[in-house]
A and B are shown apart, each in its own frame.
Chain A
Amino acid sequence: MDVTVKLFAMLNRYAPDRRKSGEPFQVTLPEGSTIADLVVQLGIPDREVKVAFVDGRARASLYQLAPGAEVGIFPPVGGG
């Protein structure tokens, strides 16, 4: 299945072809994959991931992705 992925801030260095931070790209995963599986496939060390959003909702790393899901992955961020 295909999902759309956006990587933000420092995580952008794990995105293919030096795209802009948050610019979406497609990833093909086996059916039933979780956020954690996606993170492994992208080669992102687990400890660098703080929050992952799936279709606008923050989800735990064992959340199962559906085909066509939009996933945004963030390192620790703060401000205000």
Chain B
Amino acid sequence: MCRMAAIKSKTPVPPALALRMMLAMQKGHDNSGFAMVMQDLGGAFAEFKKFPLLSMACTSQGLERAEELLEELGFSPKFDYQPDVVNKPGLDFRRMPHYIFRNYRYPEPLNAAYPNQPTPEQKKLLVETRLKLREVLSHDKQGFVYSFWPDVLTLKEVGDPRDIGTYFQMWDDNHWLKARVISAQCRQNTNYRIVRYAAHPFFLEGYTLMGNGENTFYQKNKEFQQRLHPAYIGFESDTQCFLYTLHYIREELGWPLPYYKHVITPLTFEEMQRRSDADVLMRVRQSLMHLEINGPNTVVFVLPDGAMGVIADAKKLRPYVIGKDGDLVVSASEVCGVNMIIPDRNTEADIYPGERETVLIDNALEVQRWQQ
């Protein structure tokens, strides 16, 4: 089972928190990696929040190709951060020659404004550019591009999370990188042929998502999604499907968030029939039958406005717990992960999302909960 850790804080926190949570939850041998999306950044990137930030790991040739492409498209570098690394012998992880965390300026004419949220044109360009970069880098395996979005940084590594932390000096509480929202995930044991693109959290157009479990309708989801949007690609992991569905419901259909739960874990017909909106729900179910997940899963997501949500599967087959202490909401797939960071909280106030529940934590750390 993947273990997940999500942190939402009023002040920027370092990734060490997430790493510590991971180790608390680790069982058995573990070297299949660590992946993390950080949003609402502090630290080195705090001043460049509105400039698209490229997160990429690649070879020299890959870097060259990517830079060429970005230049061709009219992007120009604004700020580049080269992380200091500790290259000790014996670190167990698959290193890439270059790690790029770089802010860019939009090309003309989109560089006229840098709003808090990218404009529709800017969004479109960023998504298209990431897809192009991905394609360019995929030739001869020259690298991976994870996100290209303002105020979002992604790291995905394959190996022992402990060593990954050491290499990037992430055990340091005064790390160069801090964020108010961190979503992190480690897989354990099951997948030795994992590719970096398969590691969640995944990011698309302002939406971040990770999940722990098995999407038993992966094939149905994938076959349906691959025709819905050009960015719905890859499918290296069955969890990607949850992100694409969230994106589709919100961005493409413009439906309110509660319908995400109605789509991925529809109510039983018996329950639906008792409701006044049964007609709508039955149509939603018919049209989006192939986006149901129907397996054991907890889905954790971050919306473009920074709110973080948690949804469990309809049979509550995967655990997840949310704890709150002061300016910090910490959630994890196991309670020991939460205890690691906020041991002295009032555990009675912990939230274990129910099978019909959606939990949403906004930027003021107010928690909203509603039943499907």
Task: Determine if chain A interacts with chain B.
Answer: no
Residues of B at under 8 Å CB distance from A?
none
Binding site for B on A (CB under 8 A): none
